[in-house]
Structure 1
Amino acid sequence: MSRVALSLQIPDLSGFARSLREQLGKRPEPPGHVEMLNLLCRSAGFRNYQHCKGVMEARQRLDAPVQAEPTVDYELLEKAVRLFDAQGRLLRWPTRAGLQDLCLWVMWSRVPSRTGLTEKQISELIKRWHAFGDHALLRRALIGWRLVHRTVDGSEYRRIEQKPPAELSPLLARLSGRA
């Protein structure tokens, strides 16, 4: 049996002692280790040791702090910064998917939120944000990465609001500081 440290809080010590004494009094011989754990947990108001352990672990999970801030991959961030010029335009399309993803998040951040755009409008915006002459690649990638939604007939493009990766904020700060 694995050792798990459980903290047992007993709100009514007198009731706990009474229950434990009654359970021990019914036994002809002293209980073994597991039997003693079950007796203690029943006296504390649980069905048995497994029930107590499950409740305590669930409480620990609920009391645990919500996930800490996501960590920033600074190596990826530095590589991404080198893909942009002083005006913040993308110089070339990276081959690594992680860098492509981060570059697309930069494009996503520049698309106006809660605004519908025509294909011509979004293409004009994208043309201003890159320097390698393939706005269609970037437009398709934004749709493929599910950062921008396009209607079936292609008449409207709209940014999909979602939580960006941890690297986006520092990357945007670095790009704006270079201008």
Structure 2
Amino acid sequence: MTKSPVPLRADDMTVFTRALARQLGEKSPSHLSLMNMIARAAGFQNVQHMRSASAAEKRLVRQKDNTFADARSVERTLHHFDEFGRLRQWPSKRSVQTLALWALWATLPASQILSEKAVNDHFSDEHLFEDAATLRRTMISCGLLTRKRDGTDYRRIEQKPPAEAKAVIRALSERRRARAHSDPAARHE
């Protein structure tokens, strides 16, 4: 029987090390030695290596959060949507298509299995050129949507949108709210 890995998480290595030292009692190595042992067990050279890797990871996360959207790409994409957030026409430029698909991706329910008909019905409310098949197929090829080989069980692939997609999604959310306020039957958020 194969074993499943059991994750171990400690918010503060010092607190974890002290608790472990108490368990080991008098035979416990020094605090620093024990911290180095734990760091090596986690795949680092020593505790300093572990600290520097953690600091670098935090810096990278901060840099990712500070990314700015290319306003021109966002603007080009938004021109393809009407005042109610519906895609008016299929964009000819691939980069605009991708951003438009992200906007449609955001309207799909998360972690829910949908039939092909349900996806088509959903997209019919979100675009005006009546080609849900193109939207479905392109979303699958872009890695935003998945389905079973037999064409059933569609599911949105959960992932973090790029900065431009986030900006498009935000702008279109406001337009969709306007649609919902103007037509109570059109509430699809």
TM range (shorter): 0.5 to 0.7
Measure the CA separation in 1 of the matches of 2:55 and 2:83. Answer: 46
- SS of the residue 2:163 aligns to: coil
Q: What is the match of residue 111 of structure 1?
A: 108
Percent of matched pairs sharing the same residue: 39
Which residue of the other structure, out of 119, 123, 135, is the alignment partner of 1:122?
A: 119
Provide the residue aligned with 2:155 in structure 1. 158
Output one character per residue of 1:58-102: Cα deviation in whole Å (capped at 9) or x when no partner: x87764421512221100011111110011100111111110110
Q: Deviations over 1:25-71 (max 9, x none)?
A: xxxxxxxxxxxxxxxxxxxxxxxxxxxxxxxxxx8776442151222
> How big is each residue's C-alpha offset from its partner over 1:2-44, in whole Å with a ceiling of 9 and x where there is no partner?
xxxxxxxxxxxxxxxxxxxxxxxxxxxxxxxxxxxxxxxxxxx
Matched, 1:94 2:80: no
Q: 1:75 is matched by which residue type in structure 2?
A: R
Distance 2:160 2:169 in 1: 15
Residue identity opposite 1:111 in structure 2: L
Counterparts of 1:122 and 1:132, CA distance in 2:
15
Q: Larger radius of gyration, structure 1 or 2? A: 1
**Mapped partners of 1:152, 1:78: distance in 2:** 36
Structure 2 residue identity aligned to 1:66: L
Counterpart of 1:144 (choices 128, 141, 146) is 141
Q: What secondary structure sits across from 1:123 in the alignment?
A: helix
Q: TM-score, normalised by structure 2?
A: 0.60
Native 8 Å contact 2:124 2:130 kept in 1 = yes
* Count of matched residue pairs: 124
Aligned to 1:5: none
More helix per residue: 2
Structure 1: which 5+ residue stretches go unaligned?
1-58
What amino acid is aligned across from residue 119 of structure 1 in structure 2? E
1:129-160 deviation digits (Å, cap 9, x = unpaired)? 10111111101111111101110111210000
Matched-pair contact (CA < 8 Å) for 2:70–2:164: yes
